Amino acid sequence: MNKKFPEGFLWGGATAANQIEGGWNEGNKGLSIADVLPGGKERLKLLKEPGFTFEIDKEKYNYPNHEAIDFYHRYKEDIALFAEMGFKAFRLSIAWTRIFPNGTESEPNEEGIVFYDQVFDELHKYGIEPVVTISHYEMPLHLAKEYGGWRNRELVALFERYARAIFERYKEKVKYWMTFNEINGALHFPLMSMGFVPESEETKYQELFQAFHHQFVASSLAVKACREIIPDAKIGCMILAAPVYPYDCNPENVMHALEEERLLNFFCADVQVRGEYPPFIQRVFDERGVKLDIREGDLELIKEHTVDYIGLSYYMSVTQKKDKTDDERIFGNVFDGVKNPFLKASDWGWEIDPTGLRIILNRLYDRYRVPLFIVENGLGAYDKVEEDGSIHDDYRIDYLRRHIEAAREAIADGVDLLGYLVWGCIDLVSASTGEFSKRYGLIYVDRHDDGSGTLERKKKKSFDWYQTVIATNGEQI
């Protein structure tokens, strides 16, 4: 049995522009949806409630994404640290608003283009492969406010123009692409990726699924453009992957978990990998009153331009019970499931489940037979800096070790896995809570929830550990 990571396995780390760059109003960058999301735990609530104003109110809130960790000015220092760890790949996203500040311009913004050119050159200097997400929770604010986000069909052409511009410009430098980050996550948080909060419970599913359809068409057009412009590139979809477990063997709960699993893990991937809407979705549409506006040629486009691989994030599993009482529900786990008595949770209530990673990798590979790529996995935790400046994050090492072991088991199960990227390899702003104190990094950044801190970078204990993991291609974990 092969229990080794393959030669050329892409070890590394992952980030997103809005969570690291800062420089929110530099280089002619336009405002993005991330620039109007305040920090702190109330952010999660704002993401879900109708009536979001899209305004910046500095009297009331702070906006951690504005300066983030200042990667915009410090990328050379950060990339040198990634290289020291031995990264083979680094995932970043391009901020749409650096390239097309409002999303509607006819020509790209040269200053934005040059910034990423320099970042890619710096990565290649160390032999690090860039893995680029085209849209990661940072769509132009203008498109959210004035166009109603992805509910509006006009975004399809605007996205295609953006994708073509970056393929043309970076065709020599970027060979791994992904279209929309966690496209399926919009079922829970549409504001960040689709630019709207549904207007009401009655219209919610109509709005969401129509927006999904527009993203599917846009994603197919991007795949088509990528193949024309960079024939030797690989372009993937990216899904939030979380296996859904039935609470027990009561068939009602098993069926309920199956329905939830299909919607969460398979609906978007079926469209983007198999190139068609799955049969089960018609019943979901009928029960939720959804009638899609599908234009001529859309389904053919989706069928013809499917992705090469599935990028996935993995943090947790979810356990479902058909009739749950309010006492049984847990909300920390992002999804509205019930507590799994076999699992412990992180400080943010995310249930830690390394075997769940092996399970979902197997489920995805069984179903799609295309390479998989873990482009996010990591532990958000509070870190303590000791008096001598050291940071002993053994809990993070333990978490990563157990998940890497699970990935290795999945490879032994026959799964074709391209790589493993630690989410937030350098501390960054949390997407769901806007906190700095929810740290994922192997590199500590001196920046705090109240906006204080020197931004100095420090290696955590996990930095040295991961360096050894990579140097031994996962033999020594």
**Catalytic residue annotation:** 182, 376
Nearest-CB residue to ligand BG6? 432
**For ligand BG6, what does the binding mask look like between residues 1 and 40, x meaning CB under 6 A?**
---------------x--x---------------------
Backbone angles phi, psi at 102, to 5 degrees: -105, -10
Exposed e or buried b per residue across 50-67, where buried means at least 16 C-beta atoms within 10 angstroms of its C-beta: eebebeeeeeebebbbbb
The nearer residue to ligand BG6, 206 or 313, going by C-beta atoms, is 313
CA distance 272 to 299: 11
Strand, coil or helix: 340? coil
Strand, coil or helix: 100? coil
Helix (H) or strand (E) holding 366: helix 354-368
Q: How far is CA 99 from CA 112, 114, 178, 217, in A?
A: 5, 10, 17, 21
Residue with tokens 């952010």: 43
CA distance 145 to 435: 25
As measured in angstroms, the least distance from the Cβ of 251 to ligand BG6 is: 32
Judged by CB under 6 A, the stretch of 31-39, 363-371, 383-391, 428-436 that binds ligand BG6 is 428-436
Binding of ligand BG6 by 449 (CB under 6 A): no
As measured in angstroms, the least distance from the Cβ of 169 to ligand BG6 is: 24
**For ligand BG6, what does the binding mask look like between residues 371 and 410, x meaning CB under 6 A?**
-----x---x------------------------------
User: Is 425 in contact with 86 (CB distance < 8 Å)?
Assistant: no
Judged by CB under 6 A, the stretch of 167-175, 206-214, 318-326, 430-438 that binds ligand BG6 is 430-438
**Considering Cα of 161, then 218, then 220, then 90, what sign does the dihedral take?**
positive
Binding of ligand BG6 by 93 (CB under 6 A): no
The nearer residue to ligand BG6, 246 or 380, going by C-beta atoms, is 380
Judged by CB under 6 A, the stretch of 279-287, 289-297, 303-311, 431-439 that binds ligand BG6 is 431-439
**For ligand BG6, what does the binding mask look like between residues 47 and 66, x meaning CB under 6 A?**
--------------------
Per the rule left: phi > 0, alpha: psi between -120 and 50, beta: everything else, 427 is beta
Q: Could you tell me where the DSSP H helices lie in 86-196?
A: 96-99, 110-125, 141-147, 154-170, 190-194
The nearer residue to ligand BG6, 275 or 354, going by C-beta atoms, is 354
* Residue of 113, 131, 273, 431 interacting with ligand BG6 (CB under 6 A): 431
* Residue of 43, 98, 396, 438 interacting with ligand BG6 (CB under 6 A): 438
**For ligand BG6, what does the binding mask look like between residues 160 and 189, x meaning CB under 6 A?**
---------------------xx-------
Token readout for 239 is: 């899904």
CA distance 369 to 432: 32
CA distance 75 to 299: 41
Binding of ligand BG6 by 436 (CB under 6 A): no
Binding of ligand BG6 by 441 (CB under 6 A): no
* Residue of 75, 162, 180, 423 interacting with ligand BG6 (CB under 6 A): 423
Judged by CB under 6 A, the stretch of 221-229, 262-270, 282-290, 426-434 that binds ligand BG6 is 426-434
DSSP code per residue over 182-234: TGGGGGT-HHHHHS---S-TTTHHHHHHHHHHHHHHHHHHHHHHHHHH-TT-E
Binding of ligand BG6 by 357 (CB under 6 A): no
Q: Give contact residues for ligand BG6 (rule: CB under 6 A).
A: 16, 19, 137, 181-182, 240, 313, 376, 380, 423, 430-433, 438
